[in-house]
Structure 1
Amino acid sequence: MKKYKKLPKLIVILGPTASGKTELAIQLAKKFSGEIISADSRQIYKGMNIGASKPSKDKGKGYKVEGVPHYLFDVVKPNQSFTVAEYKNLALKAIKNILKKGGVPILVGGTGLYIQAVVDNLKIPKIRPDQKLRKKLEAQIKKSGLEKIYQKLIALDPEAAKFIDPKNPRRIIRALEVILKTKKPFSSQRQKGRLLFDVLEIGLSKPKKNLEKRIEKRLMEQFNQGLVEEAEYLFKKYKKSPVLLSVIGYKEIAEYFQGKTTLQETFDLINKNTQKYAKRQMTWFKKDKKINWIKSRKQAEKMVQKFL
């Protein structure tokens, strides 16, 4: 009889922005000897600290928060391209490193595609970024608007358009780039591979009104911590970086710097766009039936205890 090798265990903590994922993950990591891998498409960028809600790191080498090691923060600069394939490779390396030390890897974040890439071992096309083509598509967005480019994606690959955020220019550009370079649909090139881990997915849900209040409260804190000053520094250093101009928080402040909005209007716009983003995140996560939705830390602790 064939003996099957047990898969290493991986815990995933996911949910919409401002739902309290980081706090929960740190508590679980302390209790179960865990180490955290970020699955947030903004936290990989250097300098995007307040706007990406990075937890404050401890003093000393490495990225530790309350003594818990964190991975995949500050990987690239905001003027550098970064693909899902690159994220997956780095995340798998971090997980392997944690397991080797006898720790429990905890993948934490709200970027659904990053999580899926690791959990489902997605086979992602290894197409190098074409800067010339990207600049051409960015110019088209500037001239005709994002909706026009998204319609182009629908026409070329309707299946891909179903899972790509229509408000995320970077994801739309990447999908079109792969389609135009390979002459094949982007959706057909993202197949699930052999499972690498025994996964426990925990979803953190909050009542709608509660989440709305949490988002607004966090944004108020970000403004008080110096979000506008952080954005000013980043725009001076990286000019009109496509990343900065597409990330909620920074893109609205860019309009404020151009004199198009007042500071209060900027705050309201970031708040509104973040609420919409949280809704899109939940739409993505609700499709995944493997997620165990919880309402308290105690629930999560019981699940993890049983799983490990």
Structure 2
Amino acid sequence: MGNETNIVQPDLVVILGPTASGKSALGIALAQRFNGEIVSADSRQVYRGLDIGTAKVTLEERALVPHHLLDVVEPQEVYSVSQFQHAAIAAINAILQRGHQPLLVGGSPHYIQTVVDHFDIPTVPPQPELRAQLEARPLDDLLAQLEQLDPQSASSIDRQNPRRVIRALEVCLVTGQPFSQQRGTSNPLYRCLLLGIEWPRALLYQRIDSRIDERLQQGLVQEVQEQLAKGLSHERLDAFGLEYRFVSRWLRGEFTSEAEMVQRLKYASHDFTRRQLSWFRRDKRIVWLDGQANLVEQATTAVQTFLKHTKEISTL
């Protein structure tokens, strides 16, 4: 028999959940307790200058615990899921080499799954002519075609993000196979504990609405205006999620008032959260924590039990 410690996978703690559920604060608290470092799993926080609308952790919070994969590229650049996967794995492995505990924290399901399940991501290169044809069509038309070709992707994708819808369609049309079925998995790199934060739906919506109000008070509109002044297009802003999309549309005169924009943004955020939760609910590995109880206490107990198992195996 060989030495069994050679096959023990490194431990990765994952904190996930819907918007405004409290992931960042919990991640920092756990990192402080378990000598950890945080790898962000957020598809928008990789962009520099998009701080308020993405609820990026503050510099003061980053001083408490090392954070990775924040402010990686400029908003004009496109940062792919494949790029994230490679960067996240490199960051996690570096944390492990330092003898610290990695925590993957975020709410972007595709980003999380590429690491946890070690996806083989389709490597279909961009098709400029096909993209131009798709970009000329209405978003509703694109979504209808995606629902026909790949219902699974259509149900999980950000349906108001034309760039992602076009990319999923592009892969389907070029390969003749659903995008969702092309993400094979390699052998998992880590033994993962997936912790989700759960709130009653009505209370979660209240938290989302409060966060939107806070972001506007913190200067979300000014943040969008600054990006436009730097040359970022309204079309590019649409790709950065609901907050940027709705403020951009308001600045273009698409709403009768700021109040209408805010209310429509809140409703759209509720809808996005419902789909986010539906995606997470399919993963039966997730241990759900009660957001109304002591989150840190619940999570600490779960992590201690998880890490204890590895220590027991390594001593065999």
- Kindly state the Cα deviation for residue 183 of structure 1 after the two structures are TM-superposed: 3.9
Root-mean-square deviation (Å)? 1.8
In 1, Cα distance between equivalents of 2:100 and 2:273:
31
> Which residue, 166, 171, 178 being the options, matches 1:178?
171
What SS does structure 1 have at the residue aligned with 2:136?
Answer: helix
Task: Describe the shift of the 1:131–1:234 C-alpha distance in structure 2 as closer, same or farther (beyond 3 A).
Answer: farther
Whether 2:137 is the aligned partner of 1:150: answer: no
- Give the C-alpha shift of residue 132 in structure 1: 4.7
Shift of 1:167: 3.3
**Is 1:211 aligned with 2:204?**
yes
In the TM superposition, residue 271 of structure 1 has moved relative to its aligned partner by 1.4
> What SS class does the counterpart of residue 204 from structure 1 fall into?
strand
CA distance in 1, matches of 2:48, 2:133: 26
Indicate the SS of the match to 1:288: coil
The letter of the residue matching 1:16 is P
Residue type at the aligned position of 1:180: L
Give 1:113's aligned residue. 110
Q: Normalized per residue, which structure has more helix?
A: 2
Displacement, 1:241? 5.2
Which residue of structure 1 aligns with residue 312 of structure 2? Answer: none
Residue equivalent to 1:13: 15
Which of 247, 250, 258 is the equivalent residue of 2:244? 250
Q: CA deviation at 1:166?
A: 3.1
Matches of 1:76 and 1:97 in 2, distance apart?
A: 20
Instruction: Return 5+ residue gaps in structure 1 as ranges.
Output: 59-63
Distance 2:68 2:114 in 1: 16
Give the alignment's TM-score, normalised by structure 1: 0.91
Is the 8 Å Cα contact of residues 179 and 185 (structure 1) preserved in structure 2? yes
Q: Which residue of 1 aligns with 2:219?
A: 226
Match of 1:122 in 2: 119
| Residue of structure 1 aligned with 2:64, choices 64, 67, 82 | 67
Identity %: 41
Structure 2 residue ranges without an equivalent (≥5): 308-316
Q: Which residue of 1 aligns with 2:277?
A: 282
1:67 Cα deviation (Å)? 2.0
- Separation (CA, whole Å) in 2 of partners of 1:178 and 1:114: 18
Partner of 1:61: none
Q: State the shift of 1:157 in Å.
A: 3.0
1:184 Cα deviation after fit: 3.6
CA distance in 1, matches of 2:151, 2:274: 22
Q: CA deviation at 1:42?
A: 1.2
Runs in 1 of length 4+ with deviation above 4 angstroms? Answer: none
2:53 is the alignment partner of 1:51: yes
Structure 1 173/229 Cα, relative in aligned 2: closer, same or farther at 3 Å? same
1:241-279 deviations in Å (ceiling 9; x for gaps): 544113211111112112221111111122111111111
* Contact preservation (8 Å) 1:147, 1:166: no
Matched, 1:266 2:285: no
